[in-house]
């Protein structure tokens, strides 16, 4: 007779533990999206809803998140199985799932409540099944609840023959970042993570942001992105003929599974890239420079990219590469190789076996040397060849998602803040025609122009604070002010020196707008007048300083 005895578990503490295994908001959402692709979905949507009175750059501004697909869907038993902890499901050889924890661990890292609604072909839309941390804690047991499906979720599924809606409420981690930051993370990563899936015909993946009134304010199509730029790359690296414009293919082969040499092989590909500085080389055309900029040659993008069953697990793993900026290596493995690549529950990290690491080190010895030779060729081309035209663009591209809120010790009056935001917006209309476009690229509208240069010269103010209801604060720096001529213009737009100055001006503008919006002890019009006087006085003082220090930078390069 067995003397095995079961022991009680604290269900809520288990839920807390699996929510802390290392997700960030974007990686948690992508863990949910894995299920959509495995369900053969052709249409995948992420819908992010803002809290009332918030713009997309406010922190703590997300009310709820929906992941919607038109995949195979689930019946009642399938939904219940999906909600189980460590659900007993046999995954296929090409599955993106592994442990049966993803929905619960990823979901609870996002919020305290997970809701699932689904339908299969020729069936009605299911009821809403949910996991709620508060109910689990109060009951002391792990279990689900069932409610009637609401109209919003029903509307999502009505246009599909089958599909699933998973939503997250009472947000936890996600509520500490902005909708803009989350959408930017997903936009930048998802196309790389799922490039092989998104390249298939008829697959659509969209990310949308809505205000609290259900008005759409963002709609972005996620496109596949191959960070090796395999289709752009030259077929080989020929040192004598290389012109420092394009990446080069330097490795493309399969290697044996060291545990099972007769089994499925592992694929490895590598490309080497020109130096990032070539994006400013005056001898190249605008189109060539733009393409080099698109390659985004940087330390974070260099290294190994490990794909399991077509899905990226690890981005830019360095292993033994150190600070080698110009090489990217893609390693593609399948389920049968899991013993060699130990993937964690969050699908963000893996531990590579010693046998595989030894093989990788051997295979990329020559490509590493070629990458160094390529960089040396770029150094020979780069001297005093930088070209800059669009001032502020480097700061804006680097800070496309920049939260503006401060920690508030005093309660916020939403109604009064709304009126004051309208005042700020109206006072900014004078700048709109003269400050050029709202976005760095008006077509994609990805990067808001927080820092702008203009020929103001109305009140001799060095900078002016502007406000946009959707995006938040921007600052205009006057190129006619002597301080711009003496100090700001001395450094090129992408230099840390210039960007640090721009950060100060943008912070001053944010501080001004935040004070006007939230300092309720004085009338908003009065606070606005005070700041206008402050700007004139400060700018005049800097004008005086310039007149007394005109020779300060005479010895600067």
Are 278 and 382 in contact by the 8 Å Cβ rule? The answer is: yes
Give the C-alpha distances (Å, rounded to integers) separating 194 from 159, 184, 476: 25, 16, 39
Element (H, E) at 548: helix 524-548
102-116, 364-378, 391-405, 507-521, range with the lowest pLDDT: 391-405
At 143 the pLDDT is: 93
What one-character-per-residue DSSP string does 47-98 give? EEEEPTT--TTSTT-EEEEEEEE-SS---HHHHHHHHSTT---PPPTT-S--
Question: pLDDT tens-digit profile of 299-358?
Answer: 999 999 999 999 998 899 998 898 899 999 999 998 888 888 877 655 667 888 899 999
Token pair for 25: 């908001």
Question: For the chain, which residues make up each domain, given as ranges?
Answer: 11-221, 248-387, 390-548
What one-character-per-residue DSSP string does 147-184 give? EPPPHHHHHHHHTSSSEEEEEEEEESSGGGS-HHHHHH
Does the structure show a pLDDT above 50 at 385? no
Question: pLDDT tens-digit profile of 267-302?
Answer: 999 999 999 988 888 788 999 999 999 999 999 999
Nearest to 168 by CA among 49, 307, 296, 6: 49
CATH, domain range 11-221: 3.30.565.10
Neighbours of 401 (CB within 10 A): 18
**Which DSSP state fits 488?**
G
> Could you give the CA distance from residue 89 to residue 103 in angstroms, rounded to a whole number?
13
Token pair for 87: 């659900």
Q: What is the pTM of this model?
A: 0.75
Token pair for 449: 């122009």
Neighbours of 468 (CB within 10 A): 18
Q: Is the dihedral of CA 455, 459, 460, 461 positive or negative?
A: negative
């Amino acid at each position: 007779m067995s003397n095995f005895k079961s022991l009680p578990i604290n269900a809520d503490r288990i839920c807390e533990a699996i929510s802390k295994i290392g997700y960030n908001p974007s990686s948690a959402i992508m863990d949910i999206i894995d299920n959509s692709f495995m369900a053969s979905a052709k249409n995948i949507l992420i819908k992010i809803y803002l809290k009332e009175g918030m713009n997309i750059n406010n922190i703590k501004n997300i009310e709820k998140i929906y992941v919607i697909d038109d995949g195979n869907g689930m019946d009642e038993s399938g939904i219940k199985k999906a909600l189980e902890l460590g659900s007993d499901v046999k995954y296929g050889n090409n599955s993106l799932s592994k442990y049966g924890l993803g929905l619960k661990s990823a979901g609870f890292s996002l919020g305290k409540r997970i809701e699932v609604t689904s339908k299969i072909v020729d069936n009605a839309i299911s009821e809403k099944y949910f996991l709620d941390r508060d109910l689990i804690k109060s009951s002391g047991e792990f279990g689900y609840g069932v409610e009637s499906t609401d109209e919003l979720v029903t509307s999502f599924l009505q246009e599909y023959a089958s599909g699933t809606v998973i939503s997250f409420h009472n947000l936890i981690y996600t509520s500490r970042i902005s909708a803009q930051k989350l959408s930017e993370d997903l936009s930048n990563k998802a196309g790389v993570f799922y490039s092989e899936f998104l390249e298939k015909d008829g697959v659509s993946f969209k990310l949308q942001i809505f205000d609290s009134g259900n008005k759409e304010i963002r709609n972005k199509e996620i496109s596949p992105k191959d960070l090796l730029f395999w289709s752009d790359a030259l077929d080989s690296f020929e040192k004598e003929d290389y012109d420092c414009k394009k990446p080069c293919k330097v490795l493309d082969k399969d290697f044996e599974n060291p545990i099972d040499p007769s089994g499925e092989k592992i694929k490895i590909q590598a490309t080497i890239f020109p130096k990032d500085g070539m994006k400013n080389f005056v001898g190249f055309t605008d189109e060539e420079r733009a393409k080099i900029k698109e390659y985004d040659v940087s330390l974070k993008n260099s290294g190994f990219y490990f794909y399991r069953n077509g899905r990226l697990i690890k981005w830019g793993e360095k292993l033994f590469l150190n600070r080698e900026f110009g090489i990217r290596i893609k390693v593609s493995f399948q389920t049968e190789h899991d013993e060699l690549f130990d993937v964690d529950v969050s699908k963000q990290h893996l531990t590579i076996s010693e046998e595989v690491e030894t093989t990788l080190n051997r295979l990329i010895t020559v490509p590493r040397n070629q990458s160094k030779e390529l960089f040396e060729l770029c150094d020979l081309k780069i001297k005093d060849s930088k070209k800059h035209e669009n001032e502020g663009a480097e700061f804006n591209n680097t800070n496309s998602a920049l939260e503006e809120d401060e920690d508030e010790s005093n309660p916020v009056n939403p109604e009064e803040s709304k009126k004051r935001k309208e005042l700020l917006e109206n006072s900014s209309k004078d700048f709109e025609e003269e400050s050029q476009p709202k976005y760095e690229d008006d077509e994609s509208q990805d990067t808001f122009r927080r820092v702008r240069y203009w020929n103001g010269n109305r009140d001799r103010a060095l900078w002016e604070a502007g406000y946009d209801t959707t995006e938040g604060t921007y600052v205009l720096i006057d190129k006619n002010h002597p301080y711009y001529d003496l100090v700001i213009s001395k450094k090129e737009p992408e230099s840390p020196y210039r960007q640090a100055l721009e950060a100060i001006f943008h912070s001053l503008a944010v501080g001004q707008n935040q004070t006007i919006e939230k300092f309720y002890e004085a009338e908003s019009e009065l606070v606005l007048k005070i700041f206008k006087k402050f700007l004139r006085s400060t700018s005049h003082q800097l004008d005086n300083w310039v007149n007394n220090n005109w020779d300060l930078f005479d010895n600067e390069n």
